[in-house]
Amino acid sequence: MYLKNIWLENTGPISKLEIELPFDERGNPKPIVIVGGNGSGKTVLLSYIADALVELAKTAFQDIVPGQGVNSPYLRVVGGTNTKLGSQYSLSILQFKDINEINSEYNIIYREQVGSAPPDWNEKCQLILNKTLPWSDGSKELEGQIEEKTEKIFTNNSICFFPYNRSERPHWYNPDVVEDINDFDTGKNFRKKLKHKPIIITETASKNQSWLLHLFLDSRADFDLQYVNQQINFILRGQQGELIQRRGAISNIESLLKQILNKSNIRLALLPRANGLSRICVVENNEVIIPSLDHLSTGQALLFNMFMTIIRYADRADNTKSTALSNIKGIVLIDEIDSHIHADLQYNVLPNLIKIFPKVQFIVTSHAPPVCIRN
């Protein structure tokens, strides 16, 4: 599923915004970078997309928001407080597209409307969406083939929103002052629960490192020992090709880190288990150069964990996706992508990381034009 059209009027600082999102000749989404100053409405725009995704997920899963039920709370409140001062109405219409089992495109529409319908409402709907829509004051609605599709969409795709207040804990931070962490998450899947793939992500390093430990466990060879003429022979259990494929997931994670650190000869390694989640270190030429992933700088950690989360989300439904990153699909929203990230990472690294995921639709905001120079 991808976002196809954005239509906003009189919401927050935005008077009018109409965007038809671009796709390449193969049907893959092109990344979108929204650049603007403080107060221009960048976060408002992303919040509507995130709200639409949350409302869509709520039709299939029971744990999307606290207190979910008949009067389930919205991510974005509905009402005149969001309407641009002096305006008689506000509207937000988002159109998503997906492909069904018979390779036919279908649309899902999210709409939020406040106030009285504008006089050209029907004409604008037909022009932008190629259909007419009803007007309902103070409402938030979804239209399309929803219930039978939503669970598959969120299970099989990486759907993420990284808001402006995202952060990762540095190595010097004492975890005892906050909630306990499940050091080794078994990651059981429960029907109608999206627990392990929350849409809104503010901190993700602990989950990523727990998942990395699973990858290391999967990639470890299992041997039988045989003694022949007083010599030890190691006999591999299982298929060598399967073991190589499992190792491919870690290699892909390492490729992210190589670009972020600008080091081509590094790899991930494990320290003794007494180190907990901090046992994953970075090695170069057989020497530990970064004692744990918590020792990455703030910018490095944020960038690394955002893109690792995309892989982890895809891996939950299909383990082969972590070894074939070009097959991962989804929608990723990142607010203020330039926060904590040096200009060098913005210009030289970020575009390359985005290109690793050609089927993921990236919609990001930035204060800094350098982010979009190479996109």
74 with 185, same domain: the answer is yes
Q: Which residue's entry shows tokens 């905001």? A: 365
Q: How far apart are CA 2 and CA 4, in angstroms?
A: 6
Mean pLDDT of 4-18: 93
227 with 346, same domain: the answer is no
Mean pLDDT of 345-355: 90
Q: How far apart are CA 102 and CA 283, in angstroms?
A: 48
Which residue stretches of the chain are H helix? 42-58, 121-129, 147-156, 205-219, 240-261, 298-317, 343-344, 350-355
Mean pLDDT of 79-94: 86
Sheet with 280-284, strands from edge to edge, namely 266-270, 280-284, 287-290
Q: How many CB atoms lie within 10 A of CB 261?
A: 18
178 with 221, same domain: the answer is no
131 with 182, same domain: the answer is yes
pLDDT of residue 240: 60
Amino acid present at 46: L
337 with 239, same domain: the answer is no
Model confidence, pTM: 0.85
Determine the structural domain holding residue 227 and report its residue range: 211-324
Residue that is last in its domain, among 283, 304, 324: 324
Q: Which residue's entry shows tokens 């409405």? A: 41
74 with 181, same domain: the answer is yes
138 with 166, same domain: the answer is yes
Roughly how many angstroms between the first and final C-alpha of the chain, as a whole number?
Answer: 22
314 with 334, same domain: the answer is no
223 with 358, same domain: the answer is no
CATH number of the domain that 38 lies in? 3.40.50
Number of domains in the chain: 2
248 with 286, same domain: the answer is yes
179 with 44, same domain: the answer is yes
**Is the per-residue pLDDT at 356 higher than 70?**
yes
241 with 363, same domain: the answer is no
Q: Which helix (H) or strand (E) holds 366?
A: strand 360-366
Mean pLDDT of 73-87: 77
